[in-house]
Amino acid sequence: MNSIKEFINGNKERYISELKEFLKFPSISTNPENKKDVYQCAEYVKWHLDKIGMENVTIYPTKGHPIVYADWLNAGEGKPTILIYGHYDVQPVDPVNLWTSPPFEPAIRGENIYARGSADDKGQVFIHFKALEAHFKQNDTLPVNIKLIIEGEEEIGSVNLEDFIAQHKDLLKCDVVVISDTAMYDKDIPAIGYALRGLCYMQVELAGPNRDLHSGQFGGSVENPINALANMITKLKNKNGKILIDGFYDDVLPLSNKEKEEFKKLPFSDEKYAESLGVAELFGEEGYSTLERIWARPTLDCNGIWGGFTGEGAKTVLPSKAYAKISMRLVPNQHPDKIEKLFTEFIYKIAPQSVKVKVYGLHHGKPAITPVNSKWVKAAFDSLKKGFGKEPVFIREGGSIPIVVTFKELLGADTVLLGFGLPDENAHSPDEHLNLNNFQNGIITASLFYNELAKL
C-alpha cells in the first residue's frame, strides 16, 4: 500500500497540471450560451476516463446537458460495486470583476488552486479519477468494482438525472454510492457528512401598471410593484428569523439531544465566524446555535430582486414590474413540492389587490439523511484517518445534492459523503479555490478507501 501512496505523492505536479485543463472549461450549466462548453467538458471527462483505464465510457445525452458514465467491473467474485457520483458543471461566475484571476484560467496562489469549479466539484471529481488511475498504474487493476456517473446539471437541480437513473437501474445497480461534493469540517479536520438540506427555489413576479410611468406624474396614485414586493418579502419572516408561511415547519424533524450534544463538541466560535464574514453580528432563527441553523434548520432567503431602473445615476420611474428569486433550504422531512404549494398560497394571501402576481418553482431538491453506522461509513472513516492523519468528525451539510435521495429510492443504495472541500473555499462566489494539500490527501484517501471497501 505504501507504494500507491508514494506513487501519488510522486505525481503531484502532474495532477495539478491536468486538473488545470479540466478547470478551463466554462461549463456553466445554467447559461444557455455555454451549452457547447458544457458539452465539450463532458467530452473531456469521457476522454480522461478512457485514458485512465475505465471501460464502457459513454456520453448519454439528455434533454439538457449530458451525463458521462463509465465502469470497471472486473474486481472478481464477491467484491462490492461502488457508484461514484459527481458533477462537471459549475455555477455562474458573476460578479466577474471580483475575481483576482479569471475564473477559467486556473491559478495557483499559496496552497490553493483558484478557478470556478475547483472545489465544487471538478477538483473533487478529479480526486477520484486520480485515485483510480493510481490503482491502475500501480496494480493494473482496481480492488472493487467501480461505476461512475458524472453529470452536467447538478447546479441546476439535476433536472434530467432522475429519469436517467429510472431508465438505467440495472446499469447503475451498486452496493453504495460515494459522493465527494461536500466540505471537510475545517482545515485539519476531515469529515463524513450524514445529512444534506433540500431546496425549494421560487420566482415571484408582480405586475402593477401596464407600463413604466413617470414617477412625478403618477407617483402616489398607483401601487409600485417593487414597493409591494418588498413589503411582501418582509412578511415571510419575522424579526427573530422564524418563517411565517402557514404550515412551513409542520414536517421538520427536530434535532435529537444527542445530535445537539455532538454539534456542541465541535470547535466553533461565533465571533470568529462573524469576523470571517465581515459582519458585526450573526442573525438566524432564535433558539438555535449557528451550526444548528446551518445544518438542521430550514431557511428562507431572497437571492435576487429586480425591476425598474438599476442603471447608473437616477431615473425617475414608477416601474410596471418587480421580480424576486426566493429560495428555501429544507430539512428532513420537509418535501419541496409541499413547500412550493405552501409558499405559493401564502404569497397570494399576502399580495395586495393592486398588483397581479405570478409564482412558480425553478428547481427543487429533497433533503437527505444517510446512515452513520454502516460498514461503508466505517471504511470511509478509516481511510480518512490514514489519508489525513486525523480522525474525521461527523457533520451535517447545509448545502444540497438533490440526487442522494433518488439513489436511495430508485437503487436502494445509501450514500457516503466524503468531502474534500473547505467551507471557506468560496464555492458559488468569486475566487473559488481548492486547497492542494487536501486535493493530494484526498487522492490518497480515495485510493485507500477503495482498498478498505474491498475488505468488506
At its nearest, how many Å lie between Zn ion and the CB of residue 27?
A: 12
CA distance linking residue 183 with residue 329, whole number of Å: 18
Site for ligand BES contains 452 (CB under 6 A) = no
Site for ligand BES contains 157 (CB under 6 A) = yes
Whether the CB-CB separation of 394 and 191 falls below 8 Å is answered with yes
Length of the chain: 456
430 preceded by a cis bond (ω within 30 of 0): no
Q: How far is residue 15 CA from its own chain's centroid?
A: 24
Does the annotation mark 89 as catalytic?
yes
At its nearest, how many Å lie between ligand BES and the CB of residue 197?
A: 8
Q: Which of 26, 103, 319, 402 binds ligand BES (CB under 6 A)?
A: 402
Pick from Zn ion, ligand BES, none: which does 340 bind, CB < 5 to 8 A by kind? none
Q: Which three cell numbers stand for residue 103?
A: 475564473
Contacts of 403 (CB under 8 A, 6+ apart): 85, 151, 154, 158, 161, 162, 165
Whether the CB-CB separation of 118 and 431 falls below 8 Å is answered with no
Tell me the number of residues near ligand BES by CB under 6 A: 18
Site for ligand BES contains 182 (CB under 6 A) = yes
Q: Which of 127, 174, 199, 328 binds ligand BES (CB under 6 A)?
A: 199
- Of 2-10, 50-58, 137-145, 175-183, the window that binds ligand BES (rule: CB under 6 A) is 175-183
Q: Which helix (H) or strand (E) holds 227?
A: helix 225-234
Site for ligand BES contains 340 (CB under 6 A) = no
CA distances from 194 to 38, 164, 255 (A): 30, 25, 13
At its nearest, how many Å lie between ligand BES and the CB of residue 115?
A: 15
Pick from Zn ion, ligand BES, none: which does 401 bind, CB < 5 to 8 A by kind? ligand BES
At its nearest, how many Å lie between ligand BES and the CB of residue 365?
A: 4
Find the binding residues for Zn ion in span 389-408 (CB under 5 A).
none
Give SS3 for 414: coil
Site for ligand BES contains 89 (CB under 6 A) = no
- Nearest-CB residue to ligand BES? 399
Pick from Zn ion, ligand BES, none: which does 146 bind, CB < 5 to 8 A by kind? none
Pick from Zn ion, ligand BES, none: which does 425 bind, CB < 5 to 8 A by kind? none
Instruction: List the catalytic residue out of 151, 154, 397, 432.
Output: 154
At its nearest, how many Å lie between ligand BES and the CB of residue 225?
A: 27
Find the binding residues for ligand BES in span 108-127 (CB under 6 A).
120-121
Q: Give me the 348-377 binding string for ligand BES, x by CB under 6 A, dash otherwise.
A: ---------------x-x------------
At its nearest, how many Å lie between ligand BES and the CB of residue 262?
A: 18
Half-sphere exposure of 137 (CA within 13 A, CB side): 17
CA distances from 303 to 23, 73, 329 (A): 26, 44, 12
Site for Zn ion contains 153 (CB under 5 A) = no
Instruction: List the catalytic residue out of 89, 175, 397, 452.
Output: 89
Residue carrying the nine cell digits 414536517: 251
Does the annotation mark 154 as catalytic?
yes
Site for ligand BES contains 181 (CB under 6 A) = yes
Site for Zn ion contains 340 (CB under 5 A) = no
Site for Zn ion contains 120 (CB under 5 A) = yes
Q: Which residues is 199 bridged to in the sheet?
A: 329, 365
CA distance linking residue 395 with residue 423, whole number of Å: 12
Whether the CB-CB separation of 204 and 357 falls below 8 Å is answered with yes
| Nearest to ligand BES of 208, 402 (CB atom) | 402
Whether the CB-CB separation of 162 and 169 falls below 8 Å is answered with no
Residue carrying the nine cell digits 449530458: 66
Residue carrying the nine cell digits 428562507: 300
Whether the CB-CB separation of 171 and 177 falls below 8 Å is answered with no
Q: Which of 64, 103, 319, 399 binds ligand BES (CB under 6 A)?
A: 399
Residue carrying the nine cell digits 494539500: 437
Q: Which residues are catalytic?
A: 89, 154
The residues that touch ligand BES, with contacts defined as CB under 6 A, are 120-121, 154-155, 157, 181-183, 199, 363, 365, 397-402, 427
